[in-house]
């Protein structure tokens, strides 16, 4: 982030490097994970609600999560115009699971595909396939009224042969991170997941930019 962006983020929020961040997402699991990660950097995170409701994004059909994240960020800024949140720092994030042998499917369509075919549907698509490399990717964008910064994160792993674990959300019970000990993300507690996740990496990147010393 440029110094001008950083100072605007700081002055628009708490006046210090500790920020109160509003996460515009309908997915409360993302909020919990972001809170855990960003609390370590001194920031607080809460879910953005307007008139008691979370934002309902219209997501563009796009091959890249970057494009979807930019669209969400612009929509979120539009939603807060004329509300008490107009000057707030707003976080959005788009993420997904990219499976190598399926040419990156479900990628940007991860949320939709999970709803339609579920975890078993993905395992069925990979039946008899030994090549099971996949990665989670996230793009996080933090914006103020006038400017924004973005960071990406990845978490590389493999798709399991069965559904294991009840923790996390989404594809966690079929995703085995390479940095772990062979358990799926669905078997990791929130603290364990937050140490290796794509979301953590994207958010840590944002936090490091915010905390860069000013010139
Ligand atoms: P918002 O758009 O409202 O933020 P969403 O859940 O629809 O919520 P995305 O469009 O970014 O979010 O979809 C990401 C999907 O990718 C998510 O619903 C999961 O199915 C999957 N996913 C992303 N990160 C994940 C994670 O850490 N663990 C498991 N699945 C994940």
- What pLDDT does 4 receive? 37
In ligand 1, the atom with minimum distance to the C-alpha of 185 is: 28
pLDDT at res. 210? 85
CB 25 less than 6 A from any atom of ligand 1: yes
What residue spans define the domains of the chain? 4-210
Rounded CA gap, 69 and 77, in Å? Answer: 12
Question: What SS3 class is residue 37?
Answer: helix
Residue with tokens 């075919």: 117
Q: Which parts of the chain register pLDDT below 70?
A: 1-17, 212-215
CA-to-CA dists, residue 141 to 36, 80, 147, angstroms: 17, 16, 10
CATH of span 4-210: 3.90.950.10
- Give the pTM: 0.91
Nearest 5°: the CA angle 141, 48, 1 is: 25
Chain position carrying tokens 């990406």: 152
- Pocket test of ligand 1: the residue of 22, 23, 27 to mutate, having most ligand atoms within 8 Å of its CB, is 27
* Res 11: pLDDT: 39
Distances (CA, A) of 178 to 142, 164, 197: 28, 16, 11
pLDDT at residue 9, rounded to an integer: 45
Residue 212 is predicted with a pLDDT of 67
Rounded Cα gap, residues 135 and 147, in angstroms: 30
Q: Is 27 in the pocket of ligand 1 (CB under 6 A)?
A: yes
* Three-state DSSP state, 159: strand
94 catalytic residue (yes or no): yes
- As a whole number of angstroms, the distance between CA 26 and CA 72 comes to 11
Distances from the Cα of 201 to the Cα of 33, 136, 194, 198, angstroms: 12, 11, 9, 5
From the candidates 3, 56, 63, 94, give the one annotated as an active-site residue: 94
In this predicted structure, what is the pLDDT of residue 213? 60
pLDDT for res 154: 98
Contact 155, 177 (CB under 8 A): yes
Is 47 close to ligand 1, i.e. is its CB under 6 Å away? Answer: no
């Amino acid at each position: 982030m440029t110094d001008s962006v950083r100072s605007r983020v700081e002055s628009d929020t708490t006046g210090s490097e500790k920020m109160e961040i509003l996460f515009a997402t309908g997915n409360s699991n993302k909020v919990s994970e972001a809170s855990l990660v960003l609390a370590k950097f001194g920031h607080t995170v809460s879910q953005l609600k307007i008139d008691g409701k979370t934002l309902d994004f219209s997501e563009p059909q796009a091959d890249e999560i970057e494009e979807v994240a930019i669209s969400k960020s612009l929509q979120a800024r539009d939603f807060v115009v004329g509300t008490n949140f107009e000057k707030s720092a707003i976080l959005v994030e788009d993420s997904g699971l990219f499976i190598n042998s399926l040419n990156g499917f479900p990628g940007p369509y991860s949320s939709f595909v999970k709803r339609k075919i579920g975890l078993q549907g993905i395992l069925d698509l990979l039946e008899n396939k030994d090549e099971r490399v996949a990665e989670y990717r996230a793009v996080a964008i933090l914006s103020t009224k006038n400017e924004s910064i973005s960071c990406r994160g990845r978490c590389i792993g493999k798709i399991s042969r069965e559904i294991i674990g009840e923790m996390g959300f989404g594809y966690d019970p079929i995703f085995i991170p390479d940095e772990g000990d062979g358990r799926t993300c669905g078997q990791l507690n929130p603290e364990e997941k937050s140490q290796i996740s794509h979301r953590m990496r994207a958010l840590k990147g944002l936090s490091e930019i915010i905390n860069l010393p000013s010139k």
